[in-house]
Amino acid sequence: MRKNNPLVIAYNLFFALTVSVVGAIIISWPLLLISVLLQKTYNLVNLSVSKVMSNYNQLMWYLIWPFDRKLRMNDFPTSTNAAEHFADVKKLFLMVIVVFIVCLVVWILAIKKHELTIFTLDRSWTIALLLLPLIVLPFALINFDSFFVLFHHMFFSNSNWLFDPETDPIINVLTEEFFAACFAVGGLIYELFFIKKLLHK
């Protein structure tokens, strides 16, 4: 049996987590489009669907591009608290992206050197990491709103994430259902990461 190396375990966990976050970020565009169309939230902000998506592009570009220092959305005002929250989100996103790139580069180098097996987990650790999200899954499924609140308390030290629709109308289109779908996609990507490893053992 392969000896469990803490660095290998950490590498696989961080790679899986960052892949899932990056994947959820990418898929958030079609998810928001579907959400806006199904929930008709564009009516709440008196904008066309294309304008809603254009503003989302501006928001996401700010969040993932390190050299964009100021959030600008053409049709959505941003309060001071919301701007501070998005700045905090940006820091988290950039940290995730950096870790993802590092993990990806290491993986590519290992492939080129035919040393990919050094990152192989034994079966017990693969299953353990695969089952890890299932600890919070029942809670998230039963009451996503409470899970969402807990998530923000874990990652943010203030209450700036509590948007007022009057001052930050973008929250009318970034609905709970949209965020739930993003979390679900991220969770699915994470699970597929380790399922693939199990299937190749």
CA distance 112 to 106: 10
40 part of a folded domain: yes
- Residue 129 has a pLDDT of 94
- Residue 139 has a pLDDT of 79
Q: Is the pLDDT of residue 117 over 90?
A: no
62 part of a folded domain: yes
137 part of a folded domain: yes
CA distance 145 to 110: 41
Mean of the per-residue pLDDT values for the chain? 93
For residues 139 and 111, which has the higher predicted lDDT (pLDDT)?
Answer: 111
161 part of a folded domain: yes
- Residue 1 has a pLDDT of 44
- Residue 148 has a pLDDT of 92
Q: Express each pLDDT in 20-44 by its tens digit.
A: 999 999 999 999 999 999 999 999 9
19 part of a folded domain: yes
1 part of a folded domain: no
Q: Is the pLDDT of residue 181 over 50?
A: yes
- Residue 190 has a pLDDT of 96
Query: How far out from the chain centre does Cα 145 lie?
Result: 17
Is the alpha carbon torsion for 107, 113, 119, 120 positive or negative? positive
- Confidence class for position 192, pLDDT limits 50, 70, 90: very high
127 part of a folded domain: yes
The residue segments making up the domain with residue 14 are 6-199
Q: Express each pLDDT in 54-97 by its tens digit.
A: 999 999 999 999 999 999 999 999 999 999 999 999 999 999 99
Degrees to nearest 5, angle at CA 175 with 135 and 76: 135
Q: What total of structural domains would you count in the chain? A: 1
CA distance 1 to 44: 58
Torsion of CA 79, 81, 84, 88, to 10 degrees: -130
51 part of a folded domain: yes
- Residue 3 has a pLDDT of 57
How far CA 171 is from CA of 102, 131, 201, in Å, comes to 33, 33, 45
Contact 71, 62 (CB under 8 A): yes
In percent, the amount of the chain with pLDDT more than 90 equals 79
- Residue 93 has a pLDDT of 98
- Residue 201 has a pLDDT of 60
Torsion of CA 151, 155, 158, 160, to 10 degrees: -70
